[in-house]
Structure formats: structure tokens, C-alpha cells
Structure 1
Amino acid sequence: MTIGFVMLCHTALERAAEVARHWANNDCPVVIHVDRRVPRRKYDRLVKSLIDLPNIRYSGRYACEWGTWGIVAATQEASGIMLKDFPEVHHVYLASGSCLPLRPAKELISYLKERPRTDFIESVTTEDVGWTIGGLDVERFTLRFPFSWRKQRRLFDGYVRLQRRLGFRRRIPKGIVPHLGSQWWCLTRQTLSAILENPEREEIDAYFRRVWIPDESYFQTMVRQVSSNVESRSLTLSKFDFQGKPHIFYDDHLQLLRRSDCFVARKIWPHAERLYSTFLGDGAASSVVSEPNPGKIDRLFAKAVERRTKGRPGLYMQSRHPNENWENGRTAAPYSLFEGFSDLFDNFETWLGKATGTRVHGHLFAPNSVEFAGGEKIYNGAVSDSAAMRNYNPTSFLTNLIWNTRGERQCFQFGPKDEQSMIYFIAGDPNAQVSVISGAWAIPLFHSNRNFSDIRKEAAQLQKIEANFLYQLRQPWVKARVRTWTLAEFVENPMEPLQNIVDEISPRAMRRLTEAPRLADLTGFGQFLQNLRNQGMQPVLMGDFPTGDDPRPSTARRGRPYLVK
């Protein structure tokens, strides 16, 4: 008694020949099918390389396009040759040209001898399937699919929609209960011969020719009619990603494959020299035939899928960057944005850096240049101070900066003169701490020596821009930590909000501020605002600023009269 292997090959025939030789040298007959689309010279080279092995056969060639009947037809013919030419075979194992044996053939033979009547094939009803990709489960058995899903996608989808609209349903042959499962199985001689010699095979084959992806349903359905002992699992390790594409194993997966205890694995990278040399070598068989347990590595694959779909917070990679809102956190670490502070306080960046021990930048989104801390031209991660490069993709500029400096909180200034395209991104970022003194942009205009008509025009434009910024920060979808003050509110009591900001940036320090940043000279600022009003521009973002020369409201109050009896 032995086991026979049916191999479906379409690429990397040199590797397929190595695997076929390995099995044939261990007294396991092999029947090879090569896709008809493979050039004849490559096929002849394969046959010539294995001509010295008497227990290798070749089946008629079919075009095996994905999801089509050709794969089933090739499997049927190759299996028929196996049963006919090798009567000593008690189990037939279906494999691909990219499969690789992970354990000695003797262990597999011993394992199957202990289970002589067991068929190993994943076979579950359509109601219990949770892995189908593409939106078709039961419908793959009730609709027609004359067009290729890969090459004629528009015709495929259009024909499916037409059948649904017309209410078309194919008749499932009597006695057939559709099942689905992995293509790679290991069946007993009795079961496989019963499927191939079924007197109603012609009608059944005609039906499955128009089923979508019949290689995942034909044998999986038929085995339920003829077998009394089905183990609904595959002995082949085959993992798929969230898109339904198979994982490819490389050299660095060696230990992972060993841990699975599976007998065969697919899909192996053809250039994985270490894997092929290790598993096809003359390794000693283990003393105990352990049960295949791919569940041992399921946790690692689940992590791999999560890493591919969610990624690491703030790190944008090719597999998910094109899809908005796929990000696992927009940025990698908390950061702080300050609007109006550098206008109200002299040398605010220097003071904040000393108070918090963080890196404080100027206006990162200034129109002419990126104002990195210390006047740097190139920052961590080779981020340039070029405004043109930044504006090419402002989102990536900010996320790269935060990612490259994670572990060190970044603080930067912002204002209505800066690039505004980042407002939506920052407002929706939970890592953002936004502090705004509205109307502070008027202070530099107050100190500028320009014509008042020009000042009025620019003030109106800046107020419009900042008003839009504040509007976005008030939206219900905002996730940033937002604090806003009018200029009048902040000037009245600056120490309390500054203390709150410092405590949030450096929560472990928890020290009281002993030094405040120096306020800009606001003498006459109230009259400046009144002049803007007199010229027809209404400054509304500064709050109720006093008109006199003293920017701070008077604390003197007239007491309320009262009567003592």
C-alpha cells in the first residue's frame, strides 16, 4: 500500500520536477498534468528531466484558467491514470506544482494506513461557508458563468446582474447537495473511483461545467454522495489573505512551516532555495507521527492580515494608503498645534520648548518654507523644508514627520496665512491637540507700517480663513482635542490656559509655571480694531476687546448699593 500524487502544474516546472522526483524516489507514484498554455519546449524539458523514473506518468493537457472547468477535467483524467496504472495506491493526494512536502513521505503513508477508509477533503454546505470572496455562494450553483471573471470582468458582472433581474435559476441535478471547500484533497481509491465511475457522471459534469470555480465544489460535493467517512479538512497547508489570495511562503517562513505539522504546503516561492533544500533533503523522520495542526500558526496569519489591513498607527503603506479611512490612526503619536500664540507672545517657541522639554517648530505650513525648530533645513527622516515638496502631499508630510519623531512630542504654529488643506485631516485626528487664540493674527497687522487700506483688506481675508478653520473645529466628526479662546479672553487671564496646555503636553512634570512668555505690546490695539470698524471691516474673532489704550479690562467695580436695617 502506498499513496499516489496528482500534480497540477502551470509554472516553475523545474521546482515541480524536484518535488515529483522526491515523491517518486520514496515509492509514491506521480501523475503530472501540465497546463496546455505552457509552451511545448518547457513541457518536453520537464518530461526529459524525469525520464529515468518509471513511476511517473503524464496526463492529457487542458487549459486550466482560474475558476473554470479545465482544472476539474485535468484532475479527473490524471486521477483516472493513477487508479489504472498503479493498483497498489490506496490514497490519491491532489497537489499543485507549487506545493512542497513538509514531512517525509513515510510519515504520510503511515498516517493514512491508520485511516484506510478516511477521505480528507474540506466539504461544507454553502450555508456554512464564511470564506467566499466576490459575493457569490449559492448563486455559483444556480447561475450561468460563460465569461471569465479575470479576463472579462465587465461581461461577467453584467451577465450575473441580468440573470438576477430576470430571475433565472439553473436546475441542480437530483440528489446533488452543493458543498464547497479547498481544492487540495486526499481521497481513498474507493471514493475516487466511485466519483469517476458514477453512471450519471456525464449529466453531473455538464452541470458543473457552468458552475463558478468548480474545482472548489465538484469533488467537495460528489464525495458526500459516495463516502461514509469524510474528514472535512485538508492535509495541505494553504492560507489566504482577506482578498482571497493565497499567502506565498518564502525562506524566512521555514520555522513557521515546521510548526504547522502539515504534510504539504502551498504556495511556495520558486526561488525559496532554503525551503526546497531543507524539506526535500534526506531528513530523518520523527519517531511520533503527529497530527497536522495548522491552527498553531493561525494566530500569526491573523496578525499578518491585521497588519496588512490596519497597519501601524500613522504609517502609510502601499497596501492601504489609497483607501481613505483605512488607516489605523492617522498619525503615530500625539502632537500640538498652536494658532495665534506666536502672534500674541514674543519668542513663544523658545519659551514653550523650555517649559515642556519638547521640540517646538515655527509654522510648518508657512507659504514659502517649512519652519523647522532651530532653522533646520532637513529634519528626521530626510524631511525637507521645501514648501513645494510639502505641498505636493501635505498629509504625508505631517504623518512622516510625526512617524520619524515618535517618542518626542512635536509642537508647531499655525495660522490663516498657512497652507489650509490640512484642516480636515488634523481636525479628525485623535492625536492632535489644537489650541487657538482667535483674532491674534491682527497683532502683526497692528504693528506693521503699511497703508491702512491694505491692512483692512488683508484683515478681512485672514478673518474669513480663520472663521472657516474654527467652523471645521466645531463639527461633530472632530476627534482632535480642541481649545479655543478669543484674544480678549486670553489677554485677560493668560496663565491659566498656558498652565493647562503645559500640563497636557508634559503630564508627568506637573509643575507650576514660574515664568510666563512676554506679551506683545498691545497699547492702542483696541483703537486699531475700532479703526477697522470705522473703515467698514467688522473684526469679530477678537472678542470684546477694550477700545482704550490699556488692553486689559479694568478690575475696578462700583459696589452695588444696599440698605442695612
Structure 2
Amino acid sequence: MAKIAFILLCHKDPDAIIKQAERLTAVGDVMSIHFDARAKPEDFQKIRDALGDNPNVTFARTRIKCGWGEWSLVQATLYAVEAAVDAFPRATNFYMLSGDCMAIKSAEYVHEFLDRRDCDYIESVDYFDSDWIKTGIKEERLTYRHFFNERMHKRLFYTSMNVQRRLGLKRDVPHDLQMMIGSQWWCLRRRTIEWILEFTKQRRDVMRFFRTTWIPDETFFQTLVRHLVPENEIENRTLTFLMFTDYGMPVTFYNDHYDLLLGQDFLFARKISAEADELKRRLGRLYATEGVEFKVSNEGRSLFKFLTGRGRIGRRFATRFWETESTFGRERELMIVVCKKWHVAKRLLSGIRQVTNVPAIEYLFNEESTELPDLGGIQSTLGKRTRHRRALMRMLFDYYDTDQLIICLDPSNVELMQDFNADRSATRILDVECVFDDDYLVGHAKRVGLAGEQTSPETLDRLLPTIRNDMIYERDHIRAAGFEYLYRIRQTASPEENTKPLADFLAIAPDKAHAIAQTPHLFTD
């Protein structure tokens, strides 16, 4: 069975560190601690006094002052790793943790998970070809030498980099290494750790290089593991669940996140709030429990993105100048069918096609797979279609050689409706109002990744009102937009009641509109 040596980097809250060490070593695992030398000496002494007699705990022989983004974080990790390798010869796996991490599975589950496959778990993607770095400098992290901390000495940091740029002091990365990047929270086998330590002794050139790179904790181990370990023995992922906000800050978990955390396909999570006493108590008790079955749904990140995005109204892309100046043509008519249940709108379009000769296109701004003619590549991706929406619509009018065109949009696309409505052409909108029962909302949550097959009923009970309110909000947003030609048909209305709005929307005779309103199983789920 796997025996884990936890590598703990911490700098505060000695009481929490003591509890964390006692909890993780109580089941037979071990821990090596590096406590930041910047912290209060009395805090470190408190930890030493509490854990000094614990045979499953050791400490880095050298303590150094650590700074975010600096080499010191990697060096502190190496000191803790060296202490663990020497003190615990029976340790099979080395798991990197911070003081803000906690297990979100039982020890029994964690050990069985690591026993399933003989491999290293580390997120590691190509530094230059991936989009792992979202903002800020990228290549410059490596190709220039960084002697100042960007957070503490921003002016000196960028002055130094700009001076090197002007003097042509750009350097190459070590020629035999493929630079990789990824999360600093890894779990590596003993053999891999021993290879890394040996590499650090032999390759002083590589060590000198990384000592002056910026944020090396995201590149050092990630690069060396890929260099030393066969690819088929690396699982390209972290076992620690963490999320970031739109501003690049880590998401903090609180007492009400217990069920969400247990449902994720990870072993640990960070950051747990220092004030989340109830969450810590429940997770701590869970770790020592045996026979627990975990229902992994793994919807955490998509759920967070959904919930934090509610209420943010705005356009992601500014309108391009060639779009604002373009028009479909005064003589043309664009008819937009708006419906949250896409299958209902598609059935409605099928009925319209049988009665009229107007070209009708399904969710072209929502579904990548929507069938479209070849328009020179502008139709190839959803991103291109949205950015060049007016140009795309004008080309579709021309392709079908028509002055009338019908498309479908999801209710969330209000900005597209407003843009099309502002065109000099005539725009009419048909809002198809459907009934959303709980079964449909559950299915919707699973289809869009907000829930999984194993999501607990309790989590769904809390999620469904948010989804329902979101759909109501979208409908109200459309009404509040003040569209002049807005028509509505309802699932709760009879075909006779839906005939007039259909006739007005399509500008057709009532008998034809009634035939469309009677489309078989129009609103059936």
C-alpha cells in the first residue's frame, strides 16, 4: 500500500498546521514541514514543541525566507523533500501541500487511488505552445534574469527587465530541456523524487537558470519530471482541487462547500478558509473514516463559473468597425426564434419550412455543428460567427438569394438580438415560452456541465432554483429590451391562441400559421 510523505510549505497559523500534521500522520503517513523563516519564531517553536516527538513528522534542516514568485519557494520545497527522503525510507509517494489544503476524501480512498496506477501526478504542459499563462509576461519569465520581486519591487522588476532587453541580454533556455508549466501541487513517486534530487546535484547550469526565472514553482518540477520520466508514467493533472476567479485569485472554500468538495475528482483541495471551522471539522473527521463511498460528479469548476457569471450584463467583444457600418439591407427581413429548449425551436422551424419557403437556420451562434454553407471560413467557428455576425448574416442573405431569413437564438443572446434589431433591416422576434419542470432543469444542468450523474439530490435542490431564476431573468431581460416587433407563443396556450402571434411574426395567412401551431409534439420533451 502507498505510504505518503506530505511535503508541507506553510507560513502562518501554527495551530492549524499542528492539527493538519496530526490528522494526516494518524493513519500511518508521514510529513516534512518547511515553515517560512519570515514567520514569527515563537510560531515555529510552537509547532516544534507540539510535533517534535511525533516520529512521523520531520522538518527541513534549513529554513529560508520565501517570497511569492521567487526561487525561494522551490528551494524550500527541495529542503523539505530532502528531509523526507532521509527520514522516511519507506515512503512511496511525495505529495506537495500548503497550510491551506485539506483532504476531501478519506485516507482509505486516497491510498487506494494511488495504488491503482504506478505513475506521477503533475500538471505539465508546453510552456510556449499552451495558453496556461492568461495574463502578464510569458517568455520574459524565462529569457531574462529576475533579481527583484515583482509584487514588492514592481518598478525595479520591470526596470531590470527593460535594461536587459535594451542591452540584448536575452538568454536561451537549457538546450536539452523542453520547458513545461503547470500547477505547483503535485504527487510524485519516490523514484522520481530521487531522480530530481540527483539531477539538481549534477546539473548546476539548470539550477542557475531556474534561480533567476520568475515564478519557477510553476516550471521547475514540471519541466524536470517531463525530462526524467517516461511520458506513459505521467498523469497530466493535479490531485489537488483549486479554482481561480476571473482576476487570477484562488477561490476560498467555506463551510457550505462540503458537499461540492466531496463530489470532485480530487484528493485534496485548497484554499480552505481559516474561518471555516465547521468545514475543517467535517473534513478532518472524514479523513479517518473507513468504508465511505464517494459520488464523484466533478461539476465544481463549471458550477462556479455559472454562479459567478449571473448578473454580469455586457458584451464580451466590442463591435468591429466593419460590422457597425454594415447593414443587411433596408428591404430585408430577419426573423429570430428565441427558445431555451432548442429541440422545441428546431421542431418549430421544421413546421415553418413545410408551410413557407423562407430559409431557416438553427442555432448558428450556439451550436458549432449547425449546418452552414461554405462562406470562406467565417462560418467555421462560433467565435468567428459571433465576432463577424453582421457580415455573416449579410452573406447568408446573399447565399440563399433571399430577402427573408429565419434563425434561432438562445435567450441568453440578448446582445445579438439588440445588435440585429439596430440594423436598418426589419427584425422580428418570436419568444417561445416553455414550461420548465424539475426533471428538465436537472437534465439541463447535466448537459451544460453544472451537474454530473453522481451529483447528490441535496446539491441539485440548491442548484435548481438558481437555474430556474436564471431562465426567468433571461426572459425578463428580453422583455425589458424594448423590441418593437416582439411576439410570443406559449406552451400553456392552445394552437388557436398561438396562431395570431405566429401569423404576425411570419407575416403569413392565419390558416398557415395555425398549421404551424399544430406541429405534432411541438413542446414535448
Q: Could you state the TM-score of these two structures normalised by the residue count of structure 1? A: 0.54
Per the alignment, in what secondary structure is the counterpart of residue 197 of structure 1? helix
Distance between the aligned counterparts of 2:205 and 2:221, measured in 1?
A: 15
Q: Which residue of 1 aligns with 2:14?
A: 13
Pair 1:168-2:144 in alignment: no
1:384-414 Cα deviation digits (max 9, x unpaired): xxxxxxxxxxxxxxxxxxxxxxxxxxxxxxx
The one-letter amino acid paired with 1:242 is D
Distance between the aligned counterparts of 1:37 and 1:287, measured in 2?
A: 40
Q: Which residue of 2 aligns with 1:27?
A: 28
Deviation, structure 1 residue 75 = 0.5
Q: Which has the higher helix share?
A: 2
Pair 1:264-2:268 in alignment: yes
Equivalent position to 1:221, from 220, 223, 228: 223
Q: Is the contact made by 1:249 and 1:267 (CA closer than 8 Å) also made in structure 2?
A: yes
Distance between the aligned counterparts of 1:268 and 1:230, measured in 2?
A: 28
1:438-484 Cα deviation digits (max 9, x unpaired): xxxxxxxxxxxxxxxxxxxxxxxxxxxxxxxxxxxxxx9x9799xxx
Q: Which residue of 1 aligns with 2:305?
A: 302
Change (3 A) 1:181 1:107: same
Q: Which runs of 5+ in 2 are unaligned?
A: 319-413, 425-481, 489-525
Distance between the aligned counterparts of 2:279 and 2:203, measured in 1?
A: 40
Q: Is the contact made by 2:31 and 2:56 (CA closer than 8 Å) also made in structure 1?
A: yes
Distance between the aligned counterparts of 1:205 and 1:249, measured in 2?
A: 36
Equivalent position to 2:282, from 278, 282, 292: 278
Matches within 5 A, 1:418-433: none
Distance between the aligned counterparts of 2:50 and 2:70, measured in 1?
A: 30
Q: Which residue of 2 aligns with 1:389?
A: none
Q: Which residue of 2 aligns with 1:350?
A: none
Q: Which runs of 5+ in 1 are unaligned?
A: 315-324, 329-428, 434-475, 482-501, 509-565
Q: Is the contact made by 2:120 and 2:235 (CA closer than 8 Å) also made in structure 1?
A: yes
Deviation, structure 1 residue 505 = 12
Per the alignment, in what secondary structure is the counterpart of residue 172 of structure 1? coil
The one-letter amino acid paired with 1:39 is K
Q: Is the contact made by 2:132 and 2:182 (CA closer than 8 Å) also made in structure 1?
A: no
Q: Which residue of 2 aligns with 1:201?
A: 203
Distance between the aligned counterparts of 2:74 and 2:208, measured in 1?
A: 12
Per the alignment, in what secondary structure is the counterpart of residue 57 of structure 1? strand
Aligned length: 335
1:187-235 Cα deviation digits (max 9, x unpaired): 0000111011124232221110011100000000000121121111000
The one-letter amino acid paired with 2:289 is A
Q: Is the contact made by 1:16 and 1:98 (CA closer than 8 Å) also made in structure 2?
A: no
Distance between the aligned counterparts of 1:270 and 1:84, measured in 2?
A: 32
Per the alignment, in what secondary structure is the counterpart of residue 128 of structure 2? helix
Change (3 A) 1:143 1:504: same
Change (3 A) 1:189 1:285: same
1:272-317 Cα deviation digits (max 9, x unpaired): 0111111101563346688x774x222112224534xxx4449xxx
The one-letter amino acid paired with 2:241 is L
1:543-563 Cα deviation digits (max 9, x unpaired): xxxxxxxxxxxxxxxxxxxxx
Equivalent position to 2:77, from 75, 78, 81: 75
Distance between the aligned counterparts of 1:132 and 1:160, measured in 2?
A: 19
Pair 1:232-2:236 in alignment: yes
Q: Is the contact made by 1:30 and 1:82 (CA closer than 8 Å) also made in structure 2?
A: yes
The one-letter amino acid paired with 1:10 is H
Equivalent position to 2:255, from 248, 251, 257: 251
Equivalent position to 1:113, from 112, 115, 134: 115
The percentage of counterpart residues that share the same residue type is 34
Q: Is the contact made by 2:9 and 2:98 (CA closer than 8 Å) also made in structure 1?
A: yes
Change (3 A) 1:288 1:251: closer
Distance between the aligned counterparts of 1:327 and 1:121, measured in 2?
A: 35
Q: Which residue of 2 aligns with 1:512?
A: none
The one-letter amino acid paired with 2:85 is L
Distance between the aligned counterparts of 1:85 and 1:49, measured in 2?
A: 18
Change (3 A) 1:120 1:194: same
Deviation, structure 1 residue 136 = 2.3
1:407-433 Cα deviation digits (max 9, x unpaired): xxxxxxxxxxxxxxxxxxxxxx99xx9
Deviation, structure 1 residue 107 = 1.8
Q: Which residue of 1 aligns with 2:214?
A: 212
1:250-269 Cα deviation digits (max 9, x unpaired): 11211110110311000110
Distance between the aligned counterparts of 1:507 and 1:259, measured in 2?
A: 43
Q: Which residue of 1 aligns with 2:449?
A: none
The one-letter amino acid paired with 1:138 is E
Deviation, structure 1 residue 128 = 3.6
Q: Is the contact made by 2:124 and 2:180 (CA closer than 8 Å) also made in structure 1?
A: yes
Distance between the aligned counterparts of 1:125 and 1:327, measured in 2?
A: 28
Q: Which residue of 1 aligns with 2:442?
A: none
Deviation, structure 1 residue 49 = 2.3
Per the alignment, in what secondary structure is the counterpart of residue 130 of structure 1? coil
Distance between the aligned counterparts of 1:144 and 1:183, measured in 2?
A: 21
Higher radius of gyration, 1 or 2: 1
Q: Is the contact made by 2:132 and 2:181 (CA closer than 8 Å) also made in structure 1?
A: no
Matches within 5 A, 1:392-541: none
The one-letter amino acid paired with 2:163 is L
Distance between the aligned counterparts of 2:204 and 2:277, measured in 1?
A: 44
Q: Which residue of 2 aligns with 1:56?
A: 57
Q: Is the contact made by 1:122 and 1:180 (CA closer than 8 Å) also made in structure 2?
A: yes
Distance between the aligned counterparts of 1:28 and 1:480, measured in 2?
A: 67
Q: Which residue of 1 aligns with 2:324?
A: none
Q: Is the contact made by 2:127 and 2:179 (CA closer than 8 Å) also made in structure 1?
A: yes
Distance between the aligned counterparts of 2:308 and 2:159, measured in 1?
A: 31
Distance between the aligned counterparts of 2:486 and 2:180, measured in 1?
A: 60
Q: Is the contact made by 1:133 and 1:243 (CA closer than 8 Å) also made in structure 2?
A: no
Distance between the aligned counterparts of 1:211 and 1:503, measured in 2?
A: 55
Deviation, structure 1 residue 19 = 1.3
After TM superposition, the structure 1 stretch with the greater mean CA deviation from structure 2, 173-182 or 68-77, is 173-182
Distance between the aligned counterparts of 1:226 and 1:238, measured in 2?
A: 27
Distance between the aligned counterparts of 1:63 and 1:293, measured in 2?
A: 40
Q: Which residue of 1 aligns with 2:325?
A: none
